[in-house]
């Protein structure tokens, strides 16, 4: 999921003076992008394009993996066997998304160990949405509905990203995200239609808590987006943050009516002239606070991820030992 953090990068490296050969390579690269062709790992690419993609794809991979943590808390507390199997399948999907994305990023010449070390040291970002707590079972439904829903809006355009391995990974990921969104909506729908007044109140409360952070998943407003223009130029990003956010709000406002929940924005209303919903101001101070590390669960999430990685060391060691043994046997045969 969850590509919000991708616009947030350290200051770009200084532009260096180019050789004639580089100018020609650059010209051909730009022409390829303009023609709508895909870039493959062995093709020449500008260093800045490579770095941008490593940052974006690895942040995306980290988000998939960290995103398993808030949901993992609820596997043992799922209300029925059916909901438990669905939740387990979803969490497994997210692990798979992390795997495809780390693999895509590795084709750009950065190892998975390096990327994971950056995550575990706190240097790399992941989507801030996962720094919010999951307080009730309704949060599992709302994460599917709103968080996976926002992820789909963000990610469908990435299936046409100019870097082919990323685009290919996104095709499968988007199919699975759409299942995630629907299972969340379905869980909430059951609670709203067949549930008790307390259960309906849980759905409304979870919606109130997740609505604004979901809108922040599209990243800062276009006017403040650090890399927006360059990423659009290179076909890494196809639709701007604000346009995606608007699309999400328009779709979700209708779904909220079907569910029978109220989105917590008194200014939300259809604007006939614009052909879109108007909405109230987003608290960007909160967004930057959470991105900066001061969200409700930042420390807890990172600590849980590092612990999971450390606890899994024996599995990685065993797999490597097994692979070595197999290789030795094959050589001997
Ligand atoms: Fe995912
Ligand atoms: Fe998902």
What pLDDT, on the 0 to 100 scale, is given for residue 230?
Answer: 80
Please check whether residue 125 is in contact with residue 60, taking contact to mean a CB–CB distance below 8 angstroms: no
- Ligand 2 centroid to 30 CA: how many Å? 33
- Ligand 2 centroid to 145 CA: how many Å? 10
- Ligand 2 centroid to 230 CA: how many Å? 27
For the whole model, what pTM was predicted?
Answer: 0.89
Among all bound ligands, the one having the nearest atom to the CA of 87 is 2
CA 117 to chain centre: 19
- Ligand 1 centroid to 90 CA: how many Å? 8
Kindly state the tokens that stand for 263.
Answer: 């989105």
Among all bound ligands, the one having the nearest atom to the CA of 127 is 1
- Ligand 1 centroid to 63 CA: how many Å? 8
- Ligand 1 centroid to 64 CA: how many Å? 5
Rounded distance, CA 207 to CA 256, Å? 9
- Ligand 1 centroid to 226 CA: how many Å? 25
Kindly state the tokens that stand for 303.
Answer: 């600590």
What pLDDT, on the 0 to 100 scale, is given for residue 22?
Answer: 86
Q: Report CA dihedral (173, 9, 218, 201) to the nearest 10 degrees.
A: 90
- Ligand 1 centroid to 39 CA: how many Å? 24
Q: If you compute the radius of gyration of the chain from its CA atoms, what whole number of angstroms results?
A: 21
Among all bound ligands, the one having the nearest atom to the CA of 182 is 2
Cα-flanking dihedrals φ and ψ of residue 295, to 5°? Answer: -85, 175
- Ligand 1 centroid to 311 CA: how many Å? 23
Please check whether residue 241 is in contact with residue 219, taking contact to mean a CB–CB distance below 8 angstroms: yes
- Ligand 1 centroid to 313 CA: how many Å? 24
H or E segment to which residue 278 belongs: strand 276-278
Cα dist. 29→47, 87, 198, 278 in Å? 12, 43, 58, 40
Please check whether residue 119 is in contact with residue 71, taking contact to mean a CB–CB distance below 8 angstroms: no
Kindly state the tokens that stand for 120.
Answer: 């575990």
Q: Report CA dihedral (132, 135, 140, 143) to the nearest 10 degrees.
A: -30
Please check whether residue 126 is in contact with residue 5, taking contact to mean a CB–CB distance below 8 angstroms: yes
Among all bound ligands, the one having the nearest atom to the CA of 95 is 1
Among all bound ligands, the one having the nearest atom to the CA of 96 is 1
pLDDT tens sequence for the chain (333 residues) = 455 444 444 444 445 667 888 889 999 999 999 998 999 999 999 999 999 999 999 999 999 999 999 999 899 999 999 999 999 999 999 999 999 999 999 999 999 999 999 999 999 999 999 999 999 999 999 999 999 999 999 999 999 999 999 999 999 999 999 999 999 999 999 999 999 999 999 999 999 999 999 999 999 998 887 667 788 888 888 888 999 999 999 999 999 999 999 999 999 999 999 999 999 999 999 999 999 889 999 999 999 999 999 999 999 999 999 999 999 999 887
Name the residues around ion ligand 2, CB cutoff 5 A: 1, 148, 177, 180
The residues pairing with 278 across neighbouring beta strands, listed in sequence order, are 269
Burial class (CB in 10 A: 0-12, 13-18, 19+), 4: buried
**Does the CA dihedral 118-112-217-204 come out positive or negative?**
negative
Q: How many CB atoms lie within 10 A of CB 187?
A: 25
Q: How many CB atoms lie within 10 A of CB 22?
A: 14
- Ligand 2 centroid to 144 CA: how many Å? 7
- Ligand 1 centroid to 172 CA: how many Å? 10
Rounded distance, CA 7 to CA 237, Å? 10
- Ligand 2 centroid to 328 CA: how many Å? 40
Rounded distance, CA 234 to CA 306, Å? 34
């Amino acid at each position: 999921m969850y590509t919000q953090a991708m616009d947030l990068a350290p200051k770009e490296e200084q532009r260096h003076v180019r050789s004639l050969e580089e100018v020609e390579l650059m010209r051909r690269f730009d022409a390829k992008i303009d023609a709508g062709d895909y870039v493959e790992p062995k093709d020449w690419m500008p260093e800045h394009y490579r770095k941008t993609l490593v940052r974006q794809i690895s942040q995306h991979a980290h988000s998939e993996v960290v995103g398993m943590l808030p949901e993992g808390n609820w596997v043992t507390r799922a209300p029925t066997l059916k909901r438990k199997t669905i939740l387990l399948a979803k969490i497994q999907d997210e692990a798979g998304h992390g795997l495809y994305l780390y693999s895509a990023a590795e084709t750009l010449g950065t190892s998975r160990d390096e990327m994971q070390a950056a995550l575990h040291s706190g240097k790399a970002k992941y989507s801030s949405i996962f720094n919010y707590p999951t307080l009730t079972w309704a949060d599992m439904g709302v994460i599917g509905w709103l968080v996976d829903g926002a992820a789909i809006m963000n990610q469908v355009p990435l299936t046409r990203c100019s870097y082919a391995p990323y685009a290919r990974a996104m095709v499968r990921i988007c199919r699975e995200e759409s299942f995630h969104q629907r299972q969340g909506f379905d869980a909430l729908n059951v609670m709203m239609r067949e549930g008790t007044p307390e259960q309906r109140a849980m759905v409304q409360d979870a919606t109130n808590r997740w609505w604004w952070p979901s809108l922040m998943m599209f990243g800062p407003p276009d006017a403040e987006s650090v890399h927006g223009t360059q990423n659009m130029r290179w076909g890494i990003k196809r639709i701007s943050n604000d346009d995606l956010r608007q699309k999400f709000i328009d779709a979700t406002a209708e779904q909220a009516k079907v569910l029978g929940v109220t989105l917590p924005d008194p200014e939300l209303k259809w604007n006939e002239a614009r052909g879109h919903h108007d909405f109230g101001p987003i608290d960007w101070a909160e967004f930057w606070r959470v991105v900066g590390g001061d969200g409700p669960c930042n420390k807890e999430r990172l600590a849980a991820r590092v612990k999971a990685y450390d606890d899994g060391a024996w599995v990685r060691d065993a797999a490597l030992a097994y692979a070595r043994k197999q290789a030795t046997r094959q050589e001997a045969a």
